[in-house]
Amino acid sequence: MELYFMGTNAGVPSLERNVTSVALRLLDERRSFWLFDCGEGTQHQILRSPLKLSKLEYIFITHLHGDHLFGLPGLISSRAYQGGDTPLTIFGPVGLKKYITTVLEISESRINYKMDIVEHDGGTVFEDDSFRVESALLDHRIPSYGYRVMEKDQPGKLDIALLKQYGISPGPLYGKLKRGESVQAPNERTVTAAEVLGESKKGRIVTILGDTRPCPTALELATDANVLVHESTFLHELADIAHKYHHSTAKQAAETAKKARVKELFLTHFSSRYKNNEQMLQIQHEAEETFPGAKLALEHVLYPIERPLNS
């Protein structure tokens, strides 16, 4: 599991940074990647990345401002030309379906793969055997959502040597034990999962927020996350402007991370007024005063999301 940022600027692209988009790469977990927001130019950024559109499985849109979704029509249209023929599901706020279908209809774009658009107003938006994704409304000028991606705990390794002693061979019984069920050995002895399974691997939590002022919902979504991706549009000296335009400062992002007890904080969605390295380091240092180790999200850098050592 890794994060890969393809856009970290707020509002408009600059020579230094593209507008918002971040991928959650899940090659080991499900041989795919998920995309969070799709600002203009995202498909160009993917071409410069280790990602392949054919592996794109889900897109999660935080809100309907242009710098977060103007890249969708081009990416959707181009996906098939890059080998993408598997289903694609796009999640986002009410209005997303109208936007996508209108653009595709007017441009007479033809999509030769199954595409679903799922509009939501928060709650559990996705769940399968491996992951659950929850969403909640943040505090922005228009409905803006954060996403909490929760990897489910994985069962521990089977004690193969002990299973051999019990006379249990690889096959369906292994699967039952992995699922936590008890089985019967050839000698009619009942073998429980607890006897032969090692300690389970605790799932990781990744929280990716849309544009927002500091708010209780952001804190709830981020609680105990392994990674928090939080907008940091301004330095705190511009806190009044941040509040007026429903954004956050680097200090406020760090305060949320600290209160939520997150393990790692990535700052993103920077105002285009911050251009040079010195200004960007100011943003990082401001956050580090409250949350040591806070990182600036850099585009085209792969950030592994490690499991805790005790999991």
pLDDT (tens digit per residue) in 219-244: 999 999 999 999 999 999 999 999 99
Does the model's pTM come out above 0.85? Answer: yes
User: What burial class does residue 243 get, using C-beta atoms within 10 Å of its C-beta: 0-12 exposed, 13-18 middle, 19+ buried?
Assistant: middle
| Res 27: pLDDT | 94
**Domain that includes residue 174, residue range:** 160-196
Percent of the chain with pLDDT over 90: 79
Alpha helices in 82-238 (DSSP H): 96-106, 160-165, 172-178, 193-196, 216-222
In a domain, 309, yes or no: no
The CA distances from residue 237 to 97, 278, 288, 306, in Å, are 39, 16, 16, 34
In a domain, 28, yes or no: yes
Q: Which amino acid is at 102?
A: T
Q: Which of 67, 116, 129, 153 is catalytic?
A: 67
In a domain, 50, yes or no: yes
User: Which residue has 């929850």 as its token pair?
Assistant: 134
Rounded-to-integer distance, Cα 199 and Cα 2, Å: 24
Rounded-to-integer distance, Cα 34 and Cα 32, Å: 7
Is the predicted pLDDT of residue 12 greater than 70, yes or no? yes
Q: Establish whether 67 is a catalytic residue.
A: yes
Of 170, 196, 222, which residue is a domain's last?
196
Rounded-to-integer distance, Cα 260 and Cα 146, Å: 14
Determine whether the annotation assigns residue 243 to a binding site. no
Q: Where is pLDDT greater, at 276 or 188? A: 276
Residues 147, 164 within the same domain = no
Taking residues 302-311, report their average pLDDT: 80
Residues 9, 72 within the same domain = yes
Phi, psi of 166 (to 5 degrees): -80, -5
Q: Which residues contact 173 (CB under 8 A, 6 or more apart)?
A: 183
Helix axes 72-79, 96-106, angle to 10 degrees: 60
| Res 133: pLDDT | 98
Q: How far does the chain reach from its first CA to its final CA, in angstroms?
A: 15
State the total domains in the chain: 2
Phi, psi of 25 (to 5 degrees): -85, 125
Determine whether the annotation assigns residue 211 to a binding site. yes
Residues 116, 173 within the same domain = no
Determine whether the annotation assigns residue 269 to a binding site. yes
DSSP single-letter state for residue 61: -
Is the predicted pLDDT of residue 289 greater than 80, yes or no? yes
| Res 8: pLDDT | 98
Residues 274, 187 within the same domain = no
| Res 309: pLDDT | 64
Q: Which residues contact 178 (CB under 8 A, 6 or more apart)?
A: 155, 158, 193, 197
Is the predicted pLDDT of residue 200 greater than 80, yes or no? no
Residues 42, 66 within the same domain = yes
In a domain, 237, yes or no: yes
Residues 22, 90 within the same domain = yes
Of the CA atoms within 13 Å of residue 3, those in its CB half-sphere come to 29
Q: Could you tell me the two tokens for 3?
A: 């994060």
Residues 122, 166 within the same domain = no
Residues 191, 261 within the same domain = no
In a domain, 108, yes or no: yes
Determine whether the annotation assigns residue 246 to a binding site. no
Highest mean pLDDT among 109-113, 172-176, 182-186, 295-299: 295-299
